[in-house]
Structure 1
Amino acid sequence: MSMNLPNLLTWLRIFAIPLFVGIFYLPPSWLSPLGQNLVATIIFSGAAITDWLDGYLARTLNQTSAFGAFLDPVADKLMVAAALIVLVHLERLDAPIALIIIGREITVSALREWMAQIGKAKSVAVSFLGKIKTASQMMAILLLLYHDPIEDYFNPQIVGTWLIYLAAILTLWSMIYYLKAAIPQALQNP
């Protein structure tokens, strides 16, 4: 395992998960509900930024590694799953939507692993559709975490709910896309 700056940022993202979840279990005398929402949104935003930053730094500093390529998507999926579970617990997100998104992540990760083992990893490389899904999902999670209306002009819960439903639709669509790419390989490599 190589410990470089990109991998350190990825580890920080993983270590931030208990802090992120724990924010919502602090007593109101320590942090108000609005404060909890704000701090959790900031932590999740930081995680999203470090997700982009660690990949950028790995390429720019020529510090890519097999371990980093493995750990980065694991960190992403753990953070997103934790956020979705927290949002379900806070009754800001319906459980079936969280299950669709988490289930897709597990399925596509397993599919990518299998395709890599048979030498066909490029068949299930990240698609543009997957990137749109991720952007919609991340914005939705941020808005649902913040939750509280901003004056009378903007309700993050409403916009976040629409975006998470869009993300769920794109999640299913992208999973079908990846499965279609993998089916011919499954038939050839039983």
Structure 2
Amino acid sequence: MRINLPTALTLGRVAIIPVVLGLFYVDWQHARQASAVLFVIAAFTDWLDGWLARRWNQTSNFGAFLDPVADKLLVAVALVMLLRDHSTGLMGVLVAVIIGREITISALREWLAEMGERKRVAVGMLGKIKTAFQMTAISLMLWKLPVGPIPVYELGYGLLFGAAALTLWSMAVYMKAAWPLMRDGLQRPA
């Protein structure tokens, strides 16, 4: 298999996860901010690899599989790191909502793909807005230090609430789109 640039960017996003994790926990000055910068770079490659693959007509089955896996791994690892850092019940709920939605929608997409109906839950604008909120919130929370008078961590924490709300909303939209097929499955005898 030949690796094109979009797929290489996706593989790079997976490879950067342990570096983000390590920098987050190492006791060096500004290591946490370096972790945030790497997270931002990885988040940017999420957009870039898809754009390049479509623009250059370099989409592949492997890339289509790996891209969402890389995104979900990056987000889940970062959220678990942040939960350990700020272990409150409310933060636990936000992390559970976001990771739970990702697992649910991934399973839903796999099930629909088996039925030839994956297009029912294609990524829409709401999902893209949710991702933007989520990536921005996580980036700011990873950075943590205020920038001048701007309380970066608190701003990120507030955006995480918005991301969780958008997460639930987008999940409801996807579930509604898939509901006719799920309902049909409930009405048929096993």
TM-score (norm: length of structure 2): 0.92
Aligned residue runs from structure 1 range 93-172, under 5 A: 94-151=91-148, 153-172=149-168
Residue 84 (structure 1) aligned with residue 79 (structure 2): yes
Matched, 1:12 2:9: no
- The 3-state SS of whatever aligns with 2:59 is coil
Contiguous gaps of at least 5 residues in structure 2: none
Could you tell me which runs of 5 or more consecutive residues in structure 1 were left unpaired when the two chains were aligned.
Answer: none
Task: Tell me the C-alpha RMSD between the 2 structures.
Answer: 1.4
Q: Which amino acid aligns with 1:71?
A: L
Moved over 2 A (4+): 187-190
The Cα shift of 1:21 comes to: 0.3
- Pair 1:22-2:22 in alignment: yes
Q: Is the 8 A contact 1:2 1:67 kept in 2?
A: no
Which one-letter code corresponds to 1:129 in the other structure? L
Q: Quick check: 2:25–2:32 contact (8 Å CA) kept in 1? A: no
Q: Give the fraction of aligned pairs with identical amino acids, expressed as a percent.
A: 51
- Per the alignment, in what secondary structure is the counterpart of residue 69 of structure 1? helix
Q: 2:179 aligns with which of 177, 180, 183?
A: 183
Give, in angstroms, the shift of residue 24 of structure 1.
2.4
Indicate conservation of the 8 Å contact 1:92/1:144, yes or no. no
CA shift, 1:92, in A, is 7.2
Amino acid at match of 1:177: V
In structure 2, what is the Cα distance between the partners aligned to 1:92 and 1:19?
A: 22
Could you say what secondary structure the match of 2:130 adopts? helix
AA in 1 matched with 2:147: I
Question: 1:15-66 deviations in whole A, cap 9, x for unaligned?
Answer: 111111011232x3xx12xx12210111101101111111111112211101
Alignment partner of 2:58: what SS? Answer: coil
Equivalent position of 2:66 in the other structure: 71
2:170 to 171, 174, 190: 174
CA distance in 2, matches of 1:97, 1:134: 14
Deviation at 1:121, TM superposition (A): 1.1
Show CA shifts across 1:106-153 (max 9, x none).
1001101111111111111112211111111111011111111112x2
Question: Take 1:124 and 1:13, find their aligned partners in 2: how far apart are those partners?
Answer: 24
